[in-house]
Amino acid sequence: MCAPEPVEPPARPRIVRCPACGGPAVYGPENPYRPFCSARCRQIDLGAWASEQFRLPSREDAPAEAEPPESGKNSGF
């Protein structure tokens, strides 16, 4: 007779912090809203992205576009 295969204990679900409310959220296939804890938190985050609350700041010291060379002056001819 063959020995029965060992039964592995069920894996514990990974619990992470919800990015919207900070509460616990299951990070696994049984949570359709992951990494969020609920549909409400997922919608709040989507709304924040849509209203551009998560945009990157612009650089004030960014150089201006390069100016085109002046024609006729010091062209080397």
> What b/e readout covers 45-62, taking b as 16+ CB neighbours within 10 angstroms?
beeeeeeeeeeeeeeeee
pLDDT surpassing 70 at residue 65: no
- Domains in the chain: ranges and CATH: 14-50 (3.30.50.10)
- CB-based burial of residue 31 (10 Å sphere; 0-12 exposed, 13-18 middle, 19+ buried)? middle
Confidence of residue 59 (pLDDT cuts 50, 70, 90): confident
pLDDT top residue among 67 and 41: 41
Q: Determine whether the annotation assigns residue 21 to a binding site.
A: yes
**2 known ligand binder:** no
The residue ranking higher by pLDDT, 57 or 29, is: 29
Cα 3 to Cα 8, 9, 10, 68, distances in angstroms? 15, 18, 21, 81
At 1-55, the pLDDT tens digits run 677 777 766 678 899 999 999 999 999 999 999 999 999 999 999 999 999 888 8
Residue 37 is labelled as binding a ligand:
yes
